[in-house]
Amino acid sequence: MKKVALGCTGLSINPLVFGTLPLGPLQAALSPDEGGRLIRYALERGVNLLDTAELYQTYPHIRAALKGFTGEVFIASKTHANTAQVARGHVERALVELGVERLDIVHLHGARVADPFVERPEVIEALLAMKEEGKIAHVGLSSHFVSAMLKSVQHPEIEVVHPLINRTGMGIIDGTQEEMAAAIAACAAAGKGVYAMKALAGGNLISTARESLRFVLGLTGVHGIALGMLSKAEIDGNLALFQEGRAEETLWNTLEGRRRKLTIMEAFCKGCGACVPACTNNALAMVDGKAKVDDETCILCGYCGAACPEFMIRVV
Quick: pLDDT tens for 287-299.
999 999 988 777 6
Q: Give the confidence band of 313 by pLDDT, cuts at 50, 70, 90.
A: confident
Q: Measure the CA–CA gap between 184 and 144, rounded to whole angstroms.
A: 12
Task: Inform me whether the pLDDT recorded for 1 exceeds 80.
Answer: yes
More confident site: 316 or 191:
191
| For residues 153-177, average pLDDT | 94
**CATH code linked to domain 4-257:** 3.20.20.100
- Reported residue count of the chain is 316
DSSP strands (E only) in 144-287:
160-163, 193-196, 224-228, 262-264, 284-287
In this structure, whether the domain defined by 262-315 belongs to CATH 3.30.70.20 is answered with yes
User: 233 pLDDT band (50/70/90 cuts)?
Assistant: very high
Q: What is the DSSP string of 277-313?
A: HH-TTS-EEEETTEEEE-TTT-----HHHHH-TT--E
Task: Give the pTM.
Answer: 0.88
Domain pair 4-257 / 262-315, same fold:
no
Give 201 or 146, the one with higher predicted confidence: 146
> What is the domain partition of the chain in residue ranges?
4-257, 262-315
CA atoms of 135 and 101, how far apart (whole Å): 7
Concatenating the DSSP letter of every residue in 21-65 gives GGGSTTTT---HHHHHHHHHHHHHTT--EEE--GGGT-HHHHHHH
